[in-house]
């Protein structure tokens, strides 16, 4: 059951009853690591929305200082809330990478200290449990939490095959099986990605993240633990069923293409409109250069293939 809101946001909508972005005032962007906070900022600016970035110390790229910004430490919820309200921010989006910190490494301000027992409970579970709880805490401070896909829909992965490389029927079967696995494991808050090769689920993402899963797959190939053709297997990634898409939406860029090609995969399949792509043209160029296919799979197809995958498969 959701805890009642007691702060300035007591009248805010709950996550289950929320609407889309209010569109009022500047957009606040809480920025973790990587290039995606800048891409979301640029997309919002192109729509005529003023943006203010809240850069997380130790994670955000200093290059993001080119936008109006403030730096803050994890655990400074009270400071961020006060700064946001002072600047007229109502809509807030969280984007970019963030490694789960140890509880003792967070520098708590007074607001967070008061919430410490509740925060400690959030750390007892998977990433969805933690991030959903953090969003609820932020919303209770009076902000309207929105997703990057809501404020920058142009950044969402389009449906279909991108680039000149196309998957074979065998590849498509691997993609379907991968989506079935993600759908099945989703309720356990395990991960968003799997690697499937020739009908064989060879890697499942857990706490290590997608990059480390790819590295583990590459090491298994090098050691002979798994034996595949030179170009075989697909990285499949999609939001977990029931996931709040305001948090931890998958992202796809040239880096992922390079890593997938380096470990010998034939392609990548993400759920269409279920992943952020800062620059589709750059992504396609990287995929074509690596002779690797990239597919945006329809969400409806994901549900159908997941259902069929639960009944059959190896």
Task: Give yes or no: residues 215 and 127 share one domain.
Answer: no
Residuewise pLDDT in 10s, the chain (314 residues): 223 333 333 333 333 344 456 677 899 998 888 888 999 999 999 989 999 998 888 888 999 999 999 888 777 777 888 888 899 999 988 888 766 656 555 566 556 566 666 666 655 655 555 556 666 766 777 788 888 888 888 899 999 999 999 999 999 999 999 999 999 998 887 888 999 999 999 999 988 889 999 999 999 999 999 999 889 999 999 988 877 787 767 889 999 999 999 999 999 999 999 998 989 999 999 999 999 999 999 875 544 443 444 333 33
Q: Does a structural domain hold residue 21?
A: no
144 phi, psi to nearest 5 deg: -100, 110
Task: Give yes or no: residues 118 and 44 share one domain.
Answer: yes
What CATH number is associated with residue 275?
3.40.140.80
Range of the domain at 263: 156-311
Q: Does a structural domain hold residue 184?
A: yes
Task: Give yes or no: residues 166 and 32 share one domain.
Answer: no
Task: Give yes or no: residues 178 and 243 share one domain.
Answer: yes
Q: Does a structural domain hold residue 197?
A: yes
Q: What is the reported pLDDT for 301? A: 53
Q: What is the reported pLDDT for 241? A: 80
Task: Give yes or no: residues 129 and 225 share one domain.
Answer: no
Q: What is the reported pLDDT for 45? A: 94
Tokens standing for residue 117? 């027992």
Q: Are 183 and 304 in contact (CB under 8 A)?
A: no
Cα–Cα distance for residue pair 152/212, rounded to 1 Å: 28
Task: Give yes or no: residues 275 and 148 share one domain.
Answer: no
Q: What is the reported pLDDT for 38? A: 94
The number of C-alpha atoms within 13 Å of 76 and in the hemisphere containing its C-beta is 15
Task: Give yes or no: residues 139 and 227 share one domain.
Answer: no
Task: Give yes or no: residues 288 and 267 share one domain.
Answer: yes
Beta strand ranges found along 128-229 (DSSP E): 144-146, 160-162, 193-197, 200-204
Task: Give yes or no: residues 279 and 176 share one domain.
Answer: yes
Q: Are 144 and 91 in contact (CB under 8 A)?
A: yes
What CATH number is associated with residue 72?
3.40.50.20
Q: Does a structural domain hold residue 105?
A: yes
Q: Does a structural domain hold residue 265?
A: yes
Task: Give yes or no: residues 72 and 210 share one domain.
Answer: no
Decide: residue 219, CB within 10 A, 0-12 exposed, 13-18 middle, 19+ buried.
Answer: exposed
Q: What is the reported pLDDT for 16? A: 38
Mark which of 153, 186, 218 sits at the end of a domain. 153
CA angle 62, 249, 243 (to 5 degrees): 140
Q: Does a structural domain hold residue 226?
A: yes
pTM of the full structure: 0.74
Mark which of 138, 153, 168 sits at the end of a domain. 153
Domain count of the chain? 2
Q: What is the reported pLDDT for 69? A: 94
Mark which of 131, 153, 175 sits at the end of a domain. 153
Task: Give yes or no: residues 115 and 216 share one domain.
Answer: no
Nearest Cα residue to 183 out of 131, 229, 242: 242
DSSP track, 220-245 = HHHHTSS---SS--EEEE-PPTT--T
Cα–Cα distance for residue pair 142/48, rounded to 1 Å: 23
Q: Does a structural domain hold residue 7?
A: no
Task: Give yes or no: residues 280 and 170 share one domain.
Answer: yes
Q: Does a structural domain hold residue 240?
A: yes
Q: Are 111 and 81 in contact (CB under 8 A)?
A: yes
């Amino acid at each position: 059951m959701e805890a009642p809101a007691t702060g300035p946001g007591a009248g805010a909508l709950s996550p289950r009853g929320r609407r889309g972005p209010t569109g009022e005032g500047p957009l606040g962007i809480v920025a973790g690591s990587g290039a995606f906070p800048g891409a979301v900022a640029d997309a919002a600016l192109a729509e005529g929305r003023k943006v203010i970035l809240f850069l997380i110390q130790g994670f955000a790229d200093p290059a993001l200082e080119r936008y109006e910004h403030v730096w803050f430490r994890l655990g400074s919820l009270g400071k961020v809330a006060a700064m946001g309200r002072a600047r007229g921010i109502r809509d807030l989006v969280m984007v970019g990478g963030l490694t789960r910190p140890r509880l003792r490494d967070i520098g708590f301000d007074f607001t967070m200290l008061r919430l410490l027992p509740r925060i400690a409970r959030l750390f007892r579970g998977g990433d969805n449990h933690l991030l959903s709880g953090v969003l609820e805490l932020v919303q209770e401070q009076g902000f309207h939490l929105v997703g990057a896909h809501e404020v920058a829909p142009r950044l969402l992965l389009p449906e279909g095959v991108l680039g000149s490389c196309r998957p074979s029927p065998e590849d498509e079967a691997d993609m379907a099986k991968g989506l079935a696995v993600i759908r099945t494991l989703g309720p356990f808050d395990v991960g968003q990605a799997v690697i499937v090769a020739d009908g064989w689920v060879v890697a499942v993402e857990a706490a290590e993240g997608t990059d480390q899963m790819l590295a583990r797959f590459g090491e298994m190939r090098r050691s002979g633990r798994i034996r595949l053709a030179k170009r075989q297997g697909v990285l499949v990634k999609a939001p977990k069923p029931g996931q709040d898409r305001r948090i931890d939406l998958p992202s796809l860029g040239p880096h992922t293409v390079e890593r997938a090609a380096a470990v010998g995969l034939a392609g990548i399949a993400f759920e269409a409109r279920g992943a952020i792509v800062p620059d589709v043209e750059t992504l396609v160029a990287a995929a074509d250069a690596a002779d690797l296919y990239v597919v945006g799979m329809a969400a409806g197809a994901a549900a159908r293939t997941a259902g069929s995958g639960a009944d059959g498969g190896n």
